[in-house]
Every structure is written in structure tokens, then in C-alpha cells.
């Protein structure tokens, strides 16, 4: 290991424990993930134990009896368990079986026109201007609107839904090592009242959407329905928002990538997967050890948080040639969507949202760049990474085309 890497490792360690807040992640996550990999396949950190290789990540993901999800998401502030992510088999298997018909490729395709219409409406509101914030104006409202549509909720609830999500996600500790702060719990309580009212309306047949269909066709309980709603607000909505924020930060600063996406929509799916690989929003996916276990020679006591450092595992040189190079044509099954029984349930819908947003935005605004004097950064440390603001300026030619 180079002297520079040795110095970086020393800087982030304190008494043999890696300090997450000392990782250089705010501007570019590449150096931070390199430090994690250099620290070893299993790293003891102040957020628990972290696995950093593809092999160990797959092992943790695929063995829920040893690395459990049931206690890993308690700090998100939900008053009920999140369905299905906060359950392990066999309960998790039952939930997946009930929910899978709503999240097939065909189901995602059936929603594409709705998603596209919502994206077009949002983009058209600011595409003729000379500047925008692609997080506030686009990345936040799009997935929230998709959630409201999917669950049969009024689009007029968009603003308060985004406010609840913002507070809960920003203040919750996703490492599994702490408790949700009072502000997050207060927002979670308000969201609980909101979704509980919708669950009751769906049960009584006064509301449509996914819950109504679940109640009609299964023995899904009200509590399970509330847990499902919380999951989609805190995971489904938030993960797409953060993924879009990271993508637009990269696109706005890389003319060659932006040009590829704008000129060739067929290249967008592969480009999306590569952006998800090198800069995943789910920096650490939490699990909890159910028993004493040894990974790569490191003893881990039962009850310890064990996180999969997805960003580091996605760049494992033992599994991928030139892993730090960004290649939008790369064909690689990244771990950003997870693996094993908990692989992302909404993967097809999320991919549809990401693709449609990039298609429709770049159809209208093919040329743009980061606003002068601005530098998109992420808040760190956090289990879920997102850029808080991506201010752009539109080039005169692109602005003229939009009009």
C-alpha cells in the first residue's frame, strides 16, 4: 500500500476503530471507498462492522439467518416493522410472494406512462428557464409523486410527504448503532397518522391503489400495510431521490457523459447502472449478527451491527477489472440493488423512474452545467448518500431549444 494510503488509514482511525466521519466522502466518494477497501475485508468502525468485498457482501446478503434485517432498521422511526425489509424468511418470503405481482417488469411498464407524464409536467415547469436546482425541482418531487399515484393518494399531499421524508431520513442513523432522534420520531408519528388514515380508507373501500388490491386479494393486515407505506416513503422514495441527485451531480460536471445520455437514449440504462455502481445512494446496508461469527478472521459478537459497504464492494478489484474507472458501457451486476432474498423489491419500478427522468429531462435540456461557484456535496456521515442541491445553468442553445 502506498505511503499516501497508509497516511489516510491512520487519519481515519482512532484507537483501532475507523471513524466514519473522517472518510473523505463529501465531494467524491472514490477516495473514501478506497480507504475502506484498504482497511481490510472486514472493518471495525464506529457504525459497527463493515464488509468491503464482493464475496463477503454476497455472503452477508444471502445468509439472513446469521445477518438479520429484523433489527437493522429500527432507527428509521417507524412505529411498526417495515414490510418486507425488516423481516427475515419465512415471514419475508410470504411478503415477497404477496407483493411481487405489483412490482414485475410488466407492472413497471404499466406505470411508465404515468411516470413519464409526471416527469414531463415537472420538467416543463422549469425547462424554459436559465437555471434550476435539479434536486429540489426534479429529484425530490418525481419519486414522491410516483408513490402517491401507486398508493392512490392525492398528489396535493406532495409537499408534506416530502417534508416528512426529509426530516426522518436526514436525522435517522441507518448504521443500526443508534436511536432515532426526537425530531425524526415526531415526523414519523405524523407520517404514521397519515398512512394509517389511508389504510383505513383502503380497507373500507374508500381509496384505491396498491393497498386496496392487497386487501381484496390477500390476508394483509392493517399493521402490515402501514409498514409497507413507511418502507416506500423511507426507502423507495428516498433511494430514487438520492440516486437522481448523485446522477445529476455527475452528469452536470461531465460533458462527455451528459452528451452520451442526451444524444442516445438507448445508452441510458447502462449508464444508470454504472452510475449506481460507482456512487450508490445506499452507502451502507445494515444487518445485525444473530450469533457470534467470524468473517475473514475477524470475530463479530452476536448483536453487533454488520453493514455491507456497498460502494466499496462495487469497486472490488478481485471481482472487476479497473474498478475505479467509470465506464458507461460496462456490463456488471452491481450490488446497489442488493442480493439474496432482500434484493430490491421495487427494482423494475426504480429503473423505470431513473430512465424516464433522464430521457425526458435531456430531451428538453441537453446542455447544462453546474452553476458557477457551486460544488454539489453530500452530507456525511450517513447511511444513505444524496446530494442536497445540484444548481445548474442552462446553456443558451439548450434554453432556446426548450422554448
pLDDT tens sequence across 319-374:
999 999 999 999 999 999 999 999 999 999 999 999 999 999 999 999 999 999 99
- What CA–CA distances, in Å, run from 164 to 192, 224, 271, 388? 10, 20, 31, 16
Lowest average pLDDT, out of 2-11, 85-94, 170-179, goes to 170-179
Are 82 and 231 in contact, with CB atoms under 8 Å apart? yes
Are 47 and 307 in contact, with CB atoms under 8 Å apart? yes
- What CA–CA distances, in Å, run from 100 to 30, 152, 293, 347? 35, 18, 32, 11
157-170 b/e (C-beta count within 10 Å ≥ 16 → b) = ebeebbebbebbbb
Identify the residue with better confidence: 210 or 181. Answer: 210
Say yes or no to pLDDT of 179 above 70. Answer: no
> Domain holding 257: CATH number?
1.10.630.10
Are 27 and 377 in contact, with CB atoms under 8 Å apart? yes
Q: Which domain holds residue 173?
A: 3-402
Identify the residue with better confidence: 186 or 117. Answer: 117
How many helices and strands (H and E) does the chain possess? 16, 12
Parallel/antiparallel/unpaired status of strands 298-300 and 284-289: unpaired
Q: How many Å apart are CA 187 and CA 167, to the nearest integer? A: 7
Average pLDDT, the chain: 90
pLDDT tens sequence across 141-153:
999 999 999 999 9
State pTM to two decimals.
0.91
What is the average per-residue pLDDT within 190-203?
93
Give how many domains the chain has, as a whole number: 1
pLDDT tens sequence across 359-371:
999 999 999 999 9
pLDDT tens sequence across 218-270:
999 999 999 999 888 877 788 999 999 999 999 999 999 999 999 999 999 99
As a whole-number percent, the residues of the chain with pLDDT over 90 amount to 73
Amino acid at each position: 500500500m502506498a505511503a499516501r494510503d497508509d497516511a489516510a488509514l491512520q487519519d481515519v482511525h482512532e484507537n483501532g476503530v475507523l471513524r466514519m466521519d473522517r472518510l473523505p466522502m463529501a465531494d467524491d466518494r472514490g477516495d473514501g471507498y478506497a480507504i475502506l477497501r484498504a482497511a481490510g475485508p472486514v472493518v471495525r468502525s464506529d457504525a459497527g462492522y463493515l464488509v468491503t468485498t464482493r464475496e463477503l457482501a454476497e455472503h452477508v446478503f444471502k445468509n439472513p439467518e446469521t445477518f438479520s434485517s429484523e433489527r437493522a432498521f429500527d432507527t428509521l422511526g417507524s412505529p411498526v416493522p417495515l414490510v418486507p425489509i425488516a423481516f427475515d424468511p419465512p415471514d419475508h418470503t410470504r411478503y415477497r410472494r404477496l407483493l411481487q405481482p405489483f412490482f414485475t417488469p410488466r407492472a413497471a411498464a404499466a406505470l411508465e406512462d404515468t411516470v413519464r407524464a409526471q416527469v414531463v409536467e415537472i420538467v416543463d415547469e422549469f425547462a424554459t428557464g436559465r437555471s434550476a436546482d435539479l434536486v429540489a425541482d426534479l429529484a425530490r418531487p418525481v419519486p414522491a409523486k410516483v408513490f402517491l399515484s401507486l398508493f392512490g393518494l392525492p398528489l396535493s399531499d406532495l409537499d408534506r410527504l416530502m417534508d416528512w421524508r426529509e426530516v426522518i431520513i436526514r436525522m435517522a442513523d441507518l448504521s443500526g448503532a443508534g436511536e432515532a432522534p426526537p425530531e425524526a420520531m415526531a415526523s414519523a408519528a405524523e407520517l404514521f397518522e397519515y398512512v394509517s388514515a389511508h389504510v383505513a380508507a383502503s380497507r373500507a373501500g374508500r381509496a384505491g391503489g396498491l393497498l386496496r388490491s392487497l386487501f381484496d386479494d390477500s390476508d394483509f393486515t392493517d399493521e402490515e400495510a402501514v409498514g409497507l407505506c413507511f418502507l416506500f416513503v423511507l426507502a423507495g422514495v428516498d433511494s430514487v431521490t438520492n440516486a437522481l441527485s448523485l446522477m445529476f451531480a455527475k452528469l452536470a460536471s461531465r460533458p462527455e457523459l451528459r452528451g452520451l445520455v442526451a444524444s442516445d437514449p438507448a445508452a441510458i440504462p447502462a449508464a444508470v447502472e454504472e452510475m449506481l455502481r460507482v456512487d450508490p445512494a445506499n452507502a451502507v446496508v445494515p444487518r445485525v449478527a444473530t450469533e457470534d461469527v467470524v468473517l475473514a478472521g475477524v470475530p463479530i459478537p452476536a448483536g453487533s451491527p454488520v453493514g455491507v459497504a456497498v460502494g466499496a464492494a462495487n469497486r472490488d478489484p478481485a471481482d472487476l477489472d479497473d474498478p475505479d474507472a467509470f465506464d458507461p458501457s460496462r456490463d456488471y451486476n452491481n450490488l446497489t440493488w442488493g442480493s439474496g432474498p432482500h434484493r430490491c423489491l421495487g427494482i423494475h419500478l426504480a429503473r423505470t423512474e431513473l430512465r424516464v427522468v433522464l430521457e425526458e429531462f435531456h430531451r428538453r435540456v441537453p446542455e447544462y452545467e453546474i452553476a458557477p461557484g457551486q460544488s454539489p456535496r453530500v452530507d456525511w456521515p450517513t447511511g444513505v448518500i444524496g446530494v442536497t442541491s445540484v444548481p445548474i445553468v442552462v446553456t443558451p442553445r439548450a434554453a432556446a431549444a426548450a422554448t
